[in-house]
Amino acid sequence: MTDLTQVFVDLVRYETRLYNVLGERLRAEHGLSLGQFEFLRIIDGRPACRVQDIADEVAITVGATSKAVDRIEAAGWVSRRPNPENRRSSLIELTTEGRRLLAAATPTFEDGLRHWLAGPLAGRSLDQLAAGLAALRRNVEQAQAGVPTG
């Protein structure tokens, strides 16, 4: 029988170490953290991105998200403009420098994933891992949203 505690420990420790190694490389080669890279990717993928959208995606508080957006805005990578549909929020978009940085950092990030994630797993194993993690994420997100998961 599978030791679920060990599976949990391995999953969490692997995620932490993967996050650290990818982050170290992004910082060394591009001067940004993995968290900042993730924010840039999320903002780039949403035409009308709000702080709330980022907070929902990464499962952190709106306050923490807003402070992180303040930092990447101060770095010149994003700008905020008033939200025409809600005056209490802003829409966030990449600046020219933010788009340039994201374009430069993405191959570095993807190379790290190929090396540290895809490299150790045989083809079908990666597909099974991806499907399993997607199911687990969906299950916990539905439970947090109050949707019965069976």
* Residues 6+ positions from 83 with CB-CB distance below 8 Å: 48, 50, 89, 90, 91
pTM of the model: 0.88
Q: Given pLDDT bands bounded at 50, 70 and 90, which one contains residue 16? A: very high
Question: How wide is the angle at C-alpha 118 spanned by C-alphas 136 and 77, nearest 5°?
Answer: 80
Output 145 or 75, whichever has higher pLDDT. Answer: 75
pLDDT tens readout for residues 45-80: 998 999 999 999 999 999 999 999 999 999 999 999
pLDDT tens readout for residues 77-130: 999 999 998 888 899 999 999 999 999 999 999 999 999 999 998 779 999 999
Q: Can you list the domains of the chain with their CATH numbers?
A: 4-144 (1.10.10.10)
Report residue 40 as tokens. Answer: 């840039």
